[in-house]
Structure 1
Amino acid sequence: MGRYSVKRYKTKRRARDLDLVYNDLSSKESILKLKNQPLDETKPGLGQYYCIECAKYFETQPTLDLHRRGKVHKRRAKELKQRPYSPLESQAAAGYNVQRFMESVEKYKQLEQNKKDNQAEYDALVLQRNDTLDAIITGIPSGTLEQDADGKTQAEGQADANVDAEAMTDA
C-alpha cells in the first residue's frame, strides 16, 4: 500500500451511483422531498442546500450556485440524461437471462407506444379546450369555431365583417 494508493482516492469522495440518482429524479415527489428536507445538524448547511444530480450537500446557497455552474455538475447532469443500464441489461449482455430481457424490451416498447397514443389524445383535447376557452372569452358560441376554406374560423370571419362595417360607417 503505497503513499499514492489509488484505492484511498477512489473512496475518499464517493458519491451516489448514477442509477440511484436517476431513480431520485424519476418522480416529482422524490425531487420535492430532497429539495425540502428537514433541518439536520449533522449535514452541511443543515441539509438545506442539496444538489440532487450530484447527491452533495453544501454550506450556503452561493456555494451551491457556484457548484451548478461548474464542470463537475454539468458533466454529471449530462450523464443523467441517459437512462442507466439495469442489472437485467448487463446480464443479457453477458448471455444470461436473454429471454427475460427481450420480454422487458417488448414491454418497454408497448409503454412507449401507449405514451405516444396518450400524448396524441391529450394534444387533441388541449386544442379542443383552447378553442372552447377562446370562444368563452370572446363570447362566441362554440359551434361557430369550424374553419372555412381560407383557414379562418366563422368567428374570425364575423369579427372581420364587423370591423369592415364599422370602417364604412365611420367614413
Structure 2
Amino acid sequence: MGRYSVKRYKTKRRTRDLDLIYEDLSSPTKIQGLKHQPLDEDKAGLAQYYCIHCARYFQDNKALAHHYKSKVHKRRVKQLNVNPYSTLEAEAATGLNLERFIDSVNNYKTNEAARRLMESQLLKNQLKENDEKDKMMYAQLFPEKAEQERKEATGNMGLKST
C-alpha cells in the first residue's frame, strides 16, 4: 500500500464538539466542576487552568488570560451563543418529531437568557479565583517565604500611608 492510499484523519487539533460544550455550559454544577478540577499531573497546569468554551487546558493563569483575549476564543464563544445543531433538528427537517422540536425551540427561547446570565456570572471571576488558588498553594508549599512576603507587604503598606 502506498502512503497516499490510506486516508489519514487529522485528530491532532481536534476539539470537543459544540453540542457537548453547550451541555457543559447549561448547568452551574458542570461549570463549577470544570472550573475546580482535582489536580491531574497528565494535563497542562495540573488541570487548574481550563477554558470551558474551547475545552483546553493551559499552563498558568497568565496563558489563560491571554487566551481569553485571542481571536480563537472569541470565535468559539460566538459559536456557542447559538443553539448547536442537533439530531432533533435534522429529524424535524425531514418531518419526524416535529412537535418535540417545536417544544425544544420554545424551551430554548424561554431559558436562553437566564442560561447566558448564569454562565457569565459564573465565569467572570475565573481569573481572580485562579490567582487566589495560586496564592494558597504557594503558601502551602513555601510557608516561610509566604509569611515573609506577607510581612513585607504589610510593612510597605504602613510606610506608604505616612
TM-score, with length taken from structure 2: 0.59
Per the alignment, in what secondary structure is the counterpart of residue 82 of structure 1? coil
Show the 5 A alignment for 1:138-153. Answer: none
Counterpart amino acid of residue 48 in structure 1: Q
- The higher-RCO structure (CA 8 Å, 6+ apart) is 2
Task: Say yes or no: does 1:18 pair with 2:18.
Answer: yes
Report the alpha carbon displacement of residue 86 of structure 1 after superposing the two structures with TM: 1.0
Query: Whole-Å Cα distance in 2 between the matches of residues 24 and 76 of structure 1?
Result: 14
Partner of 1:83: 83
Q: Name the aligned partner's letter for residue 107 of structure 1.
A: D
- Which structure has the larger Rg? 1
**Counterparts in 2 of 1:6 and 1:80: CA distance versus 1, 3 Å:** farther
Distance 1:7 1:37, change over 3 A: same
SS of residue paired to 1:12: coil
Q: Matched residue of 2:11: which SS? A: helix
2:84 is matched by which residue type in structure 1? P
The alignment's C-alpha RMSD in Å is 2.6
Q: Which amino acid aligns with 1:78?
A: K
Q: 5 Å matches for 1:148-167?
A: none
| Runs of at least 5 residues in structure 2 that lack an aligned partner in the other structure | 115-162
Pairwise CA distance, 1:24:
0.3
Q: Deviations over 1:62-96 (max 9, x none)?
A: 00010110000000000000000111212333x2x
Partner Cα separation in structure 2 for residue 109 and residue 79 of structure 1: 18
Matches within 5 A, 1:105-124: 105-108=101-104, 111=107, 115=110
Q: 1:83 to 1:110 in 2, by over 3 A?
A: closer
Once residues 50 and 29 of structure 2 are traced to their aligned partners in structure 1, the CA distance between those partners, rounded to angstroms, is 16
Q: Conserved in 1, the CA contact under 8 Å of 2:88 and 2:101?
A: no
Which amino acid is the alignment partner of residue 59 of structure 2?
Answer: E
Are 2:108 and 1:104 aligned? no
- Alignment partners' CA distance in 1, 2:74 and 2:105: 30
Residue in 2 aligned with 1:65?
A: 65
Following TM superposition, by how much is the alpha carbon of 1:111 offset from its aligned partner in structure 2, in angstroms? 4.0
Q: Count matched residues.
A: 109
- Give the aligned residue type for 1:70: S
Higher mean alpha-carbon deviation, 84-93 vs 45-54, is at: 84-93
* Percent identity (aligned): 49
After the TM superposition, which segments of 4 or more aligned residues of structure 1 sit over 6 Å from their partners? none
For residues 58 and 112 of structure 1, what CA distance do their matches in structure 2 show?
A: 32
**Distance (whole Å) between structure 1 residues aligned to residue 75 and residue 7 of structure 2:** 22
Return 5+ residue gaps in structure 1 as ranges: 120-171
| Residue of structure 2 equivalent to 1:55 | 55
